[in-house]
Structures are given as structure tokens and as C-alpha cells.
Amino acid sequence: MKILTVDIGTGTQDVYLFNSHLDVENGFKLVLPSPTMMIHRRVKQALRTRTPILLSGHQMGGGPSAWAIEEAARAGIPVYMTPEAATTLNDELDKVRALGIEIVSEDEAAGLQSKVESLELKDFDFSALAKTFAEYGVSLDDLAAVAVAVFDHGNAPAGVSDRQFRFDYLDGRIRAKNSLSSFIFPSHEIPPLMTRLQAVADSAPDLPCPLLVMDTAPAAVLGAGFDPNVAARRRKIVVNVGNFHTIAFRMDGGRTEGLFEHHTGEIDLPKLEGLIRKLADGSLKHQDVFDDMGHGALIYSDEAFEFGRGDFDVVVTGPRRSLFSPIANRQSEIANRQSLRPYFAVPFGDMMIAGCFGLLAATAEALPDLAEPIHRSMQGGRGVAPWDAGS
């Protein structure tokens, strides 16, 4: 049985092809530029040559792509976007027009093709991944499922902060079912307001198998738990330091006791450790984080989390985990004398695809018919040698 998992972040998209006939460590994996970085580079190329740009397709992750598109518009280069693609910048299209970008219909876009640099926006490109694997003799025609993670603020109503809207969504999912796997959805069950998740499904309508989508943050935290040292701790604080967002979950077994989410660019080690300590003792307030341009905080337990038990204080994962490095922070007194002791999780020997392992674990809950081979493999079941497993 094979399952394709894709964890799409700001800097990279991390791909893992699970094969139940192989040991997990022998599964094929790729770490590639993220879709938003790919669009960023192509828009910057058009900017240098002052070529008009047409962006069509689907809503996708913003950040680098959005910055480059806005820079091109400010530079006076004609920028055209179809309505769905334009929601990458803002769900309110009048705000996109205010940037100097022209919103065009699909028919109008077709008429512009020969006059512009045409770019298709989408977070998930199954055809490109299938072609890449095929170049190495690996077929994706026999997949049992595809699971994709992206970060989704959701489509906040007019006048509602997208940061607040996201936290209301997180709160609702946790209160409905306090399990990290509650954040995964089969494509036909995606909440209507989670428009980026829906855009992933819309970008792959003809898959030969079920498609599931999930938020990146709980996927990374769930995946970090497959490090045996992390799994041995019932109560723990797991911090995912992403390129754009940092999130910390305070966990008791599989249940969330609290969390906060902030923008990585807005924090340093002393600030982050202060937030973690407040998360631990339950004193962290949503407004503390929100007013600091973060997303917010949620506390669900009155029982304080105590540091100093065992060999480490916090579990750390994510591509920006070096924020916790004593070398990177040696100038900071708090780093040298008072810092929390981090443990850098390496599930199945690879931190970069922790989110993919989280996707697999959540898929086992969402699709019970696939659970047994996933659980067997991820709990240490022995596979055959790669040369005996086929493609």
C-alpha cells in the first residue's frame, strides 16, 4: 500500500511516499522549493524584464509570492489576476484592485495569454510530482490515498481579523474533538470557510484515490511525536518553528492542554521562551499574543506544566529550529543561563518531513481501512528490502 504525503510550507514542500512494504526510513522523500517560492522567483524574473504578468489558477499560500506580485504592481508592470487566483492576496477583491492589479475573467485571461508571462497558481501539483517520481521509475498510479498539509487562515468575514478567525477555527476543532487528527479532512468534508484547504482539493480533481487535507501546524506536532524520546513523554510542550509561523502545543498524551501561534519574524529566543513559560503555567492570554501581531493563545487546562523533569524541557521541530540553538543565541543572557532545554525531534531520523509523518498518522484515523498497515509500519513493523518491494 502506498500513500503520498505532501507538507507545503513557506520555504519548502516536503514530500514522503509511504510504502507499507518498506521500513519507514526507506520510504522515498523529496524536499523541494515551496509553490509560493516558485511563483516568487518567476514573478521577480518578469519584474526584471518588465513583462506583463497574468496569474490564474487557484488560491495558494501567499508570503513570498504575494510580496513579489505586489512589488510588480507597484513598479507599474501590468498585473492581471483571475478572481480565484486573486484571493491569494486577499479574499476581498476590492483590496486586490487597490494594489493596482486588474481582476479579469477566465475568458479575458485566455485572450491575454500571448501577451503576458502566464503563471498558474496552486499549492499542490500532483502531475508534477508524479512526473518526478516516474523519472526514477516509481509509479503513483496505485496510491491508496494522498494527504496534503497547508496553512489556512480561512476566509474571515469582512471586518474580522484573519488571525482571530483562524484561532476561532482552531478552538472549535479542539473543543469538538480534542485530537490533532481532528484537523484532517477528506476532500468532500472540508469546512466551507477553509478556502485554501478547498483550493488544494480543487487543484487535484481527478486523483485515482481519496485526497485528504490538513493544517500544517498540528501535522508537524503530531509527526514529531514519532521520535521515541518524545513518544515516551506523556506531558510535553512541542514547538514547531516554521519559516513564517511558530506554534507551540502543550500536550497531555494526545490531548491539547493549550497552544499559541505567532509569526516567526516577530519573535526572538527570549520572547519565545517567555511565551512557552506562560503557556506552561497557564497564564498566557490570547490578547498577549494577538496584540503582539501574533495569532493568539488558548488554554484548556488548569494544571500547570512543570519544567525540569527528565532530560529536556521542550520538544522542538521545524525548519527554523535553530532559533533555539545556543550558538545562534550566545549573545543572549537568557540563552546562556536561563534557557529552556530543547530536544530537537527527529522522527524516523528526519525532522524535515515530520509533517508528512503527522499526515500519515491522521490519515489512519480518517480512513480506518488504511489504519492497520500504517500503524504496523510506524510502530516498527519490519518491511522487506527495497529491492524486493517493487516500485
Sequence ranges of the domains in the chain: 2-33+125-220+351-389, 35-121, 232-345
Which CATH code of 3.30.300, 3.30.420, 1.10.150, 2.40.50 fits the domain covering 2-33+125-220+351-389? 3.30.420
Looking up cell 489512519 gives 364
C-alpha cell at 72: 510588480
The CB density around residue 72, as the number of other CB atoms within 10 Å, is: 25
Specify the pLDDT at position 386.
55
Specify the pLDDT at position 389.
55
Spell 182-203 as b/e; 16+ CB within 10 A means b: bbbbebeebeebbbbbbbbbbb
How far CA 275 is from CA of 29, 158, 311, 323, in Å, comes to 34, 30, 21, 14
232-345, which class in CATH?
alpha beta
pTM > 0.85: yes
Residue 67, pLDDT > 50, answer: yes
Specify the pLDDT at position 335.
46
Residue 54, pLDDT > 60, answer: yes
Q: Nearest CA to 362 among 349, 352, 375?
A: 375
Q: Topology of domain 35-121, per CATH?
A: Rossmann fold (3.40.50)
**Extended beta strands in the chain, E state:** 2-8, 12-19, 28-33, 53-57, 79-81, 102-103, 117-121, 143-150, 184-186, 211-215, 235-241, 245-252, 255-263, 296-299, 314-317, 342-344
Specify the pLDDT at position 334.
47
Domains 35-121 and 232-345 belong to one CATH topology: no
**Extended beta strands in 190-252, E state:** 211-215, 235-241, 245-252
